[in-house]
Amino acid sequence: MISLKSTEERDQEISRIVELGNAYIQSGRDTLVVTSRQLITGKTPEESLEINYKVSSALVEIVRRIDSRPRYILAKGGITSSDLATKALEARRAKVMGQALAGVPLWQLGPESRHPGVPYIVFPGNVGDNSALAEVVQNWACPSRSSTKELLLNAEKSGYAVGAFNVYNLEGIEAVIAAAEAEESPAILQVHPSSLKQGGVPLVACCIAAAERANVPITVHYDHGADKHDLLGALEMGFDSVMVDGSHLTLEENILYTKNISSLAHAEGMLVEAELGRLSGTEDGLTVEEYEARFTDIAQAEQFIDETGIDALAVCIGNVHGKYPPSGPNLRLDLLKELRALTMKKGVSLVLHGASGLPHELVKECIDLGVRKFNVNTEVRNSYLQSLKKPEKDLVQVMASAKEAMK
């Protein structure tokens, strides 16, 4: 029992519970942290008070250190519920939502808290019947956030593709989500390493917060992770999925690099996408010349999938980053058909980068041939840059026109 353990043993027990709590929440399960029903008292009133404080402070510390976002937070009434809100969750403001049930107050945590927007419910022990708690959770818990894997599995079941759009700032994030909501369609917010270097963790946090509030399934993806150090950092930032880009390496080096990152990302519950072959073109300052480009090889693709354990394969069939030549795209649909047969057998999703500029009919044909994720950057980025040339009088107008252009 925590109240009777040494300081070192207490810290170890707290760490164990925190690790379990994070794992359970990340797996989509509601997680209950409770204290023993057994009353433990000391020899004196002072000792009993100290025991009570140790238990209460341990509970607060556990909640403070669980960093995975829950669907709701429910605290038993009393002093501890106040400490949980202010100390563990760092809430300074909350929106009063009323009562979850008669006698059960309900708040929505404010934007400065550790879990903004999450319902915070204080449940007195003497309210309602045996079904009261379940009723509150059913009515007020936030919907579970979708995962990229879930998005692609649903796309496979229903025969459509999900658009993945690179974002650089708040206007881009809002534009993607607004367009997705207008179309009642899922979407993926992608952050390229170059934009992450500029926006940092706040950019990712903004993507995650916006995804959690969207009315359609939105996930957040780390795009083109070609640097191991950057990828390892991305694994700690809350992305739903990552792309491991070892396309500049030899096949053997690419397999080793991708397998290593894939193992770490899967341990965090993240989908892993990887590229085999190499696209020509320029994206966010990274250029691959035409002579460096190469198509995805079927035999190598099978070996690559088997040895890395990836979930999604980005293929090279004549697609390019950036603008297509005036003659238009020349995609190897015969190769795509072969790759589809392979990925179907392996249970891996097909991804096509360089979707900007593809004619609608060609996009539809690629979907029919099994592509489940399209990456789009150039069209959205250019729309933003063009909007900046308009002579707006105020920065707010610039932001609004940029958002509308990208949408």
Residue from 223, 240, 245, 311 carrying the catalytic annotation: 223
Q: Which residues pair with 242 in a beta bridge?
A: 222, 272
Q: Is the pLDDT of residue 152 over 70?
A: yes
Fold category of 2-139 in CATH: Molybdenum Cofactor Biosythetic Enzyme; Chain A (3.40.980)
For the residues 78-103, what does the mean pLDDT come to? Answer: 88
15-22: long-range contacts (C-beta < 8 A, 24 or more apart)?
A: 15/65, 17/62, 18/62, 18/65, 18/66, 21/62, 21/66, 21/68, 22/66, 22/67, 22/68
Q: Which helix H or strand E contains 392, and what residues bound it?
A: none
Looking at 141-290, list the stretches that DSSP marks H as alpha helix, in order from N- to C-terminal side.
148-158, 170-183, 193-213, 228-234, 251-267
For the residues 114-124, what does the mean pLDDT come to? Answer: 85
Let me know: does 193 contact 283? Beta carbons within 8 Å: no
Residue with tokens 């995804």: 211
Claim: this prediction has a pTM higher than 0.85: no
- Residue 140: per-residue pLDDT: 84
- Residue 289: per-residue pLDDT: 42
Would 2-139 and 148-406 be classified into the same CATH topology?
A: no
Q: How far from each other are the two terminal CA atoms of the chain, in whole angstroms?
A: 55
Residue with tokens 């353990």: 5
Residue spans of the domains in the chain: they are 2-139, 148-406
User: Residue 222, SS3?
Assistant: strand
**Would you give the distance in Å from CA 240 to the centre of its chain?**
3
4-37 burial, b for 16+ CB within 10 Å, e for fewer?
eeeeeebeeebeebbeebbebbeeeeebeeeeee
- Residue 124: per-residue pLDDT: 84
Q: Is the pLDDT of residue 155 over 90?
A: yes
For the residues 251-274, what does the mean pLDDT come to? Answer: 95
CA distances (Å), 375 to each of 12, 36, 183, 243, 314, in order? 44, 51, 18, 12, 10
Nearest 5 degrees, angle CA 296-CA 298-CA 304? 80
**Higher-scoring residue by pLDDT: 12, 26:** 12
Please tell me the total number of residues recorded for the chain in this structure.
Answer: 407
pLDDT band at 337 (very low <50, low <70, confident <90, very high): very high
User: Residue 192, SS3?
Assistant: coil
CA distance 161 to 372: 4
Residues 6+ apart with CB under 8 A from 94: 85, 107, 108, 109, 110, 113, 120
**Would you give the distance in Å from CA 252 to the centre of its chain?**
29
Nearest 5 degrees, angle CA 40-CA 43-CA 47? 70
- Residue 118: per-residue pLDDT: 85
User: Residue 152, SS3?
Assistant: helix
- Residue 35: per-residue pLDDT: 81
Which class for 118: exposed (0-12), middle (13-18), buried (19 or more C-beta within 10 A)?
Answer: buried
CATH of domain 148-406: 3.20.20.70
Q: Is the pLDDT of residue 326 over 60?
A: yes
User: Residue 109, SS3?
Assistant: strand
CA distance 23 to 18: 9
Residues 6+ apart with CB under 8 A from 366: 161, 331, 333, 336, 352, 358, 374
Q: Is the pLDDT of residue 14 over 80?
A: yes
Encoding tokens for residue 198?
């500029």
- Calculate what percentage of the chain has a pLDDT beyond 90: 51
Q: Say which range, 32-41, 46-55, 223-232, has the weakest mean pLDDT.
A: 32-41
| Interval 161-196: pLDDT, tens | 999 999 999 989 999 999 999 998 999 999 999 999
| Interval 77-89: pLDDT, tens | 777 889 999 999 9
User: Active-site residue 223, yes or no?
Assistant: yes
Q: Is the pLDDT of residue 76 over 80?
A: yes
Let me know: does 214 contact 226? Beta carbons within 8 Å: no
Q: Say which range, 93-102, 136-145, 210-219, 346-355, has the weakest mean pLDDT.
A: 136-145
CA distance 192 to 374: 15
- Calculate what percentage of the chain has a pLDDT beyond 70: 85
Q: Is the pLDDT of residue 216 over 60?
A: yes
Strands 349-352 and 119-123: unpaired
Residue with tokens 């909501």: 181
- Residue 402: per-residue pLDDT: 56
Q: Is the pLDDT of residue 406 over 60?
A: no
Q: Give me the chain's average pLDDT, please.
A: 85
**Higher-scoring residue by pLDDT: 373, 28:** 373
- Side-chain-side CA neighbours of residue 184 (13 Å): 0
CA distance 68 to 26: 7
pLDDT band at 286 (very low <50, low <70, confident <90, very high): very low
